[in-house]
Amino acid sequence: MMKQIAGTQEEAVVVAGRAAGWEMRTSRAKDRAPGVMFASEPGQKPLTKREREVLHFISEGCSNKEGALRMRISPRTFESHRAEAMRKLGARNTADLVRTALLHQGGV
């Protein structure tokens, strides 16, 4: 699946490495989501680290495929994290998700 969405030279190297069986674990502090944890209602579970990362990439304007590549996960997993974040925050669409995240981020 990663071969379909690889576009840059770096992404092509990642795809080739995975095909060869290499395990790639890198830490990119600049790609990490801020430590904001919030819930839409009291008693609601806060967002997980991965849901916050997905929200971070969405707020930067990344598509599901772009965000998935940057997080080194499948687009379907990215979409699952996004859907769960939307459910937890009560967002109906992407604009609502980003708006809700930005409003909560300032208060936490």
Could you please report the per-residue DSSP string of 67-78? HHHHHTS-HHHH
Cβ neighbour number for residue 78 with a 10 Å cutoff: 25
For 74, the domain range is 28-107
In a domain, 14, yes or no: no
pLDDT at residue 78 tops 60: yes
Percent of the chain predicted with pLDDT > 90? 48
Is residue 89 in a domain? Answer: yes
pLDDT at 102: 83
Domain count, the chain: 1
Q: Is residue 19 situated within a structural domain? A: no
Q: Which CATH number is 37's domain given?
A: 1.10.10.10
Please report whether residue 9 resides in a domain: no
What is the per-residue pLDDT across 8-51, written as a single tens digit (0 to 9) for each?
A: 444 544 444 455 444 444 444 344 444 445 555 566 789 999 99
Core vs surface per residue 79-90: b (16+ CB within 10 A) or e: eebbebbbebbe
**Looking at the domain assignment, is residue 93 inside a domain?**
yes
